[in-house]
Amino acid sequence: MPRTTIFPDGAWHGLVTVGLERVLRTIRATSEYRPRHTVEDDPSMQQIIPYCVVHHPHDGTYLLTRRLRRSSETRLHHLYSLGVGGHVNPGDGAGGDPVVGGLQREWAEEVVCESPATARLVAMLNDDSSPVSRVHLGLVFLVEPSAGTTSVREVEKLEGESLALEAMRRHYLSMESWSQLVFDDLVGGAVKRAERSPLVVELPAAG
């Protein structure tokens, strides 16, 4: 969607945690699908990315992944990430809400989770510090499985482990910029804020 539509008063940098209902309404009303290659290097357009941050409530850990050499996104090789997700595709709107459809599809494609999970929208993320982040707008969801832990599905492209925030702090300087912003927000209390989320999505087990 056009950058000026989502940022009518000019772009900000970082995480926004208020006004998320307005953002959702704007995305649903004005977004459109375009071939990815036509917008991937066009900062006047924002590509919507449902970004799942996986929290395991039973032990307080989070899923941390690292992109391997076979990952398709060469600009992010070997960097750590606190989120899994990807672009919203045309078929994702078939159920009525492309954001929810994209979230559900990405969850099923990216992770293995043997129990149902609850996803709560906690923030919107914009980062103009690099070419890859400048053209994407993140909708940050905190996803909590009802039991057990989560692992990555595409092990040839990603490696993953579950770590407490303090344990993953040593990887902070090797994280993607989005993940650094999310890490800071988690330390600042995002889990508690998730209780007041304007969008809650129940996700089935992803076997």
CA distance 14 to 155: 30
Q: By percentage, how much of the chain surpasses pLDDT 90? A: 44
pLDDT band at residue 41 under the 50/70/90 scheme: low
Number of domains in the chain: 1
Higher pLDDT, 11 or 101: 101
CA 13, distance to chain mean position in Å, is 16
Whether 3 has a pLDDT exceeding 70, the answer reads no
**What's the average model confidence in pLDDT over 181-188?**
94
- 3-class DSSP state for residue 68? coil
pLDDT band at residue 34 under the 50/70/90 scheme: low
The pLDDT, as a whole number, for residue 1 is 63
CATH number for 74: 3.90.79.10
Task: State which residues form the domain around 51.
Answer: 3-203
**What's the average model confidence in pLDDT over 55-80?**
79
DSSP state of 136: E
Whether 38 has a pLDDT exceeding 60, the answer reads no
